[in-house]
Amino acid sequence: MKRILALITVASALVLTGCSQVGSAAEVGSTKISQATVQKSIDTGLAERAKVDTSGMQLESGAAFNRSQLRFHLISLLLADVVADAKISVTKAEIDSRRAQIMTQIGGVANLPKALVGASIASSDFDQYINLILQSEKLASAAVAAGVDQANTGAEIQKLIIAKAAALKVTINPRFGKWDPATGDIVATDAASPASTPAATPSATK
């Protein structure tokens, strides 16, 4: 499942600054991703790790895990705007159908908690994650119908997200890190910065 998120990671040269609102983890135009939303993903994900066998898993921790949860919500928001422009929608029935397919692929609902932990997805975000997958697949199909080679659909989706992010303007709360225009990602701030210390990051640094 991580492959889908990697496919649509934004790679842009935006200059991001600290959010103007203390309660915001990030802002996309006038839309805010609250710290409470990201913290719920962080806390749920960490709690679920304690309930499964994580031996052999390469799991993010601390500030890196915090950033990955914010990244998920940020990409979800940007992609939602992109598909709205393309007049693409995903129905609840489609989400339910894909969820059932995933259950079959992983060997049943009993294996879901471990699968989600391994993919760093909080159970509370599972339907949103499925929606993200379906949106990206529909955008890829639309790109192919417009003449884009199948092998280049990932890059085409990236371009659409980059353009949307540039148009709306994105800001990141410095306690989660900073935007690195060279890699197009939320990265850790300088080690000397208070924003990168445990005291300045959410409770997932435990």
* Residue 159 pLDDT class (50, 70, 90 cuts): confident
- Whether 16 shows a pLDDT value over 80: the answer reads no
Per-residue pLDDT of 71-101, as tens digits, reads 899 889 989 999 999 999 999 999 999 999 9
Q: How many domains does the chain have?
A: 1
Q: HEC states along the chain?
A: CHHHHHHCCCCCCCCCCCCCCCCEEEEECCEEEEHHHHHHHHHHHHHHHCCCCCCCCCCCCHHHHHHHHHHHHHHHHHHHHHHHHCCCCCCHHHHHHHHHHHHHHHCCHHHHHHHHHHCCCCHHHHHHHHHHHHHHHHHHHHHHHCCCCHHHHHHHHHHHHHHHHHHHCEEECHHHCEEECCCCEEECCCCCCHHHCHHHCCHHHC
> Which tokens go with 108?
């049943």
Helix axes 62-85, 35-49, angle to 10 degrees: 120
Per-residue pLDDT of 94-130, as tens digits, reads 999 999 999 999 999 999 999 999 999 999 999 999 9
CB 69 within 8 A of CB 45: yes
Domain that holds residue 194: 2-205
pTM to 2 decimals? 0.79
CB 119 within 8 A of CB 52: no
Q: How many CB atoms lie within 10 A of CB 151?
A: 7
Percent of the chain with pLDDT over 70: 78
CB 25 within 8 A of CB 77: no
We report the CATH number of the domain holding residue 74 as 1.10.4030
